[in-house]
Amino acid sequence: MRMVDLIEKKRDGHQLSKEEITYIVTNYTNDNIPDYQISALLMAIFYQDMTDEEITDLTLAIAHSGDVIDLSSLDGIKVDKHSTGGVGDTTTLILAPLVASVGATVAKMSGRGLGYTGGTLDKLEAIPGFRIELSDEEFIRTVNESKVAVIGQSGNLAPADKKLYALRDVTATVNSIPLIASSIMSKKIAAGADAIVLDVTTGDGAFMKNIEDARRLAKTMTRIGKLAGRQTVAVISDMSEPLGEAIGNSLEVVEAIETLQGNGPEDLVEMCYALGSQMVVLAEKAASIEEAREMLKEALESGRALAKFKEMIQNQGGDSTIVDEPARLLTARYIYELPAKTTGVVTKIVANELGIAAMMLGAGRKTKEDSIDHAVGLRLNKKIGDKVETGESLLTIYSNEEDISPVIDLLYKNIEIGDTAEQPILIHDIITE
Ligand code: URA
Ligand code: CA
């Protein structure tokens, strides 16, 4: 096989065979195909798209480019959850203990944030002592005893995706449905889950800017899941404004604790019930979504979910007393309010731009090598549809630098006040195969 012929085939809109796709992924992983040829292929895929069969073959080839985790020594149906990317998306911190507290098995591998999107591992590391690396034995024992552990993905999980993602990032080929679908599903399949709940975000803060594209991505991923023998459900959710109130690592841990205490922001709580009930049904702990939702509500209101979060922190070496004293996590040196310049109703809060503002404060990374500052970030005091008066605080800024004028300029540009606005619809659709 010659790589140049395969590029030509895709360039001209033909379907690549399983053998051809496996050849490409295997040889690229082993450094036998140069980046420039893969770049050309990625651009051809971007324009010509792929059939479901090609996307499935690509997903499985990427999944098998490294370790495929065997979770069969864990009891029960292992259920995983993945978001296609958001701002202030605190759901995993809440869902892992919440869903485990009603008996589902959550053996989760999470990632770090890049650019304006946050990562669960960074948030967990805001908890003093929390270890995101457990040995295989520790991981299995912890999940069997406690039903829950959230760890970093192993170094050799889907190595082809690491190379492809880095190349896509610099060749303007990130935003392609076949490439996003195969990237996400390959990692989920390699991480060993039996069932997968996908949160496919849409809006300014997401890869998919409109609902039609989000629906296509969701359908593509649920079909791949089914073909790979993993039950998969996708929830299409809105990410035009940030989810919940907090954006930033320690701030989101505090938000997770408050939510598990029953005092969470309405949209974040609803998102957790929507995703969590799908997880509980896939894990066969409830017969219907309604029943699952009742179970989750009970676990939250009784404090069982919060106790599970404490247990999870303890199991992974963290200081669980922060659950009782979350204010200890808020160590930023400067706290500023952002006053509204006019009276009216908040009509727009652009999620990705607020994510960038949090990153500028130090909450996120511009490049993979950057270190992050757990203490900094934003807390929204107003959301779309809220009334506001001149001088009232739109949001609170937590910073370790005194001069944050570029951040303030960016925030004012991306929060609009007008006459009327409806609260955005949070869940647009639920896709099951
Ligand atoms: N998240 C991923 O893991 N891969 C993509 O391509 C996009 C989002
Ligand atoms: Ca949040």
Whether the per-residue pLDDT at 245 is higher than 80: the answer is yes
What is the number of the ligand 1 atom nearest to the C-alpha of 174?
Answer: 6
Which stretches within 101-135 are classed as H helix? 120-124
Band of residue 206 on the pLDDT scale cut at 50, 70, 90: confident
pLDDT attached to residue 142: 96
The residue whose CA has the least distance to atom 3 of ligand 1 is 184
183 lines ligand 1 (CB under 6 A): yes
- Using only C-alpha atoms, the chain has a radius of gyration, in whole angstroms, of 22
Choose between 113 and 178: higher pLDDT.
178
How many angstroms is it from 183 CA to the middle of ligand 1? Answer: 6
- What pTM did the predictor assign? 0.93
Whether the per-residue pLDDT at 219 is higher than 80: the answer is yes
Cα–Cα distances in Å, from 194 out to 79, 165, 273, 354, 375? 6, 25, 20, 35, 36
Whether the per-residue pLDDT at 106 is higher than 80: the answer is yes
352 lines ligand 1 (CB under 6 A): no
Residue 337: strand pairing partners? 396
pLDDT tens for 26-75 read: 999 999 999 999 999 999 999 999 999 999 999 999 999 999 988 988 98
182 lines ligand 1 (CB under 6 A): no
Q: How many CB atoms lie within 10 A of CB 55?
A: 24
Taking the CA of 118 as reference, the closest ligand is: 2
| Bridge pairing between strands 393-399 and 334-339 | antiparallel
pLDDT tens for 284-333 read: 999 999 999 999 999 999 999 999 999 999 999 999 999 999 999 999 99
pLDDT attached to residue 377: 98
Taking the CA of 42 as reference, the closest ligand is: 1
How many angstroms is it from 87 CA to the middle of ligand 2? Answer: 7
84 lines ligand 1 (CB under 6 A): yes
pLDDT attached to residue 367: 78
184 lines ligand 1 (CB under 6 A): yes
In percent, how much of the chain has pLDDT > 90?
A: 87
pLDDT tens for 272-290 read: 999 999 999 999 999 999 9
Whether the per-residue pLDDT at 379 is higher than 80: the answer is yes
Residues labelled as active-site residues: 82, 161, 168, 183, 187
How many angstroms is it from 376 CA to the middle of ligand 1? Answer: 25
The residue whose CA has the least distance to atom 5 of ligand 1 is 180
